């Protein structure tokens, strides 16, 4: 049994209390116990990472290696809010972090200005296979779909991001991964509506932030073709994700 180290009560509360899983601190990073031996999860104040031994299909809107790729790791990198004059492109910053942390290729990379203390993780099993949800949340960049555009390519990317990751040992079809990506977006919008999170641009209920990213990581277990709202697995993942996001917003923005 892993034991909790002597870390501040605040970090333990925000990173460990959402699940019954324990944490172990090694070399300044928290190792989050996972529901599967098939992937590893680590977090620190500067990043959250996942890695696994064999390539897995990953569908994402990530900055680094987004799209549909065969990946072996993922990083959610925290950047400073004052990013008016970045020294590197987002891709370069993520590649440097990947090299520093020795994450295997291909690495899928996201960025956020949100505190890693906002990270929530939720573990479960369905169809006899492990499944986990991870979400970090920043709302300073909250927007409603259709809000007036307020960014130009010559400007630094706005900060405040909801980054979402779903990983499972189940083998999702490509169409199912697209369907699940859409379901996560709808679940996120539903939580923001329930919690009355508003866009500072329009004053209307936000449906996300302007820089959200989402990654769906499949495994090689039992095949699953569909993951929409009519399926039990779609309901299972949506509820699990909504609980995680709601917990993060409750702790930091309410």
Q: What is the DSSP letter of 117?
A: G
- Give the per-residue pLDDT at 24: 39
CA–CA separation, 58 and 215 (whole Å) = 7
For the chain, the domains span 9-253
Tokens of 144: 């409603």
Q: How many CB atoms lie within 10 A of CB 17?
A: 12
**128 bridge partner residues:** none
CA–CA separation, 147 and 224 (whole Å) = 36
Coil, helix or strand for 113?
coil
Q: pLDDT, tens digit, for every residue of 10-51?
A: 333 343 433 333 343 333 445 555 556 789 999 999 999 999
Does residue 82 surpass a pLDDT of 80? no
Run of H or E including 204? none
User: 9-253 in CATH: which number?
Assistant: 3.60.70
Q: pLDDT, tens digit, for every residue of 156-193?
A: 555 569 999 999 999 999 999 999 999 999 999 999 99
Q: pLDDT, tens digit, for every residue of 106-124?
A: 999 999 989 999 999 999 9
Q: Which is it for strands 162-168 and 213-217: parallel, antiparallel or unpaired?
A: parallel
- Give the per-residue pLDDT at 156: 57
**216 bridge partner residues:** 59, 166
**208 bridge partner residues:** 143
**121 bridge partner residues:** 134
């Amino acid at each position: 049994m892993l034991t909790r180290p002597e870390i501040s009560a605040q970090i333990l509360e925000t990173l460990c209390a959402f699940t019954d899983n324990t944490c172990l601190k090694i070399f300044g990073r928290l190792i989050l116990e996972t529901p599967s031996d098939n992937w590893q999860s680590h977090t620190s104040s500067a990043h959250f990472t996942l890695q696994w031994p064999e390539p897995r299909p990953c569908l994402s809107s990530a900055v680094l290696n987004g799209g549909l790729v065969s990946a072996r790791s993922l990083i959610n990198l925290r950047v400073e809010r004052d990013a008016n004059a970045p020294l590197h492109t987002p891709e370069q910053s993520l590649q440097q972090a990947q090299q520093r942390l020795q994450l295997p290729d291909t690495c899928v990379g996201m960025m956020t200005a949100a505190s890693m203390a906002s990270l929530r993780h939720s573990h479960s099993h369905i169809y006899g296979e492990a499944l986990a949800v991870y979400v970090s949340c920043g709302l300073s960049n909250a927007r409603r779909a259709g809000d007036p555009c307020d960014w130009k390519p010559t400007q630094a990317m706005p900060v405040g991001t909801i980054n979402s990751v779903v990983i499972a040992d189940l083998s999702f079809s490509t169409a199912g991964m697209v369907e699940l990506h859409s379901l996560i977006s709808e679940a996120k919008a539903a939580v923001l509506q329930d919690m009355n999170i508003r866009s500072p641009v329009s004053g209307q209920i936000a449906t996300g932030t302007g820089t959200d990213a989402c990654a769906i990581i499949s495994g090689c277990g039992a095949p699953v073709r569909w993951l929409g709202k009519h399926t039990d697995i779609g309901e299972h993942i949506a509820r699990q994700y909504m609980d995680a996001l709601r917990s993060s917003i409750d702790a930091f923005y309410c």
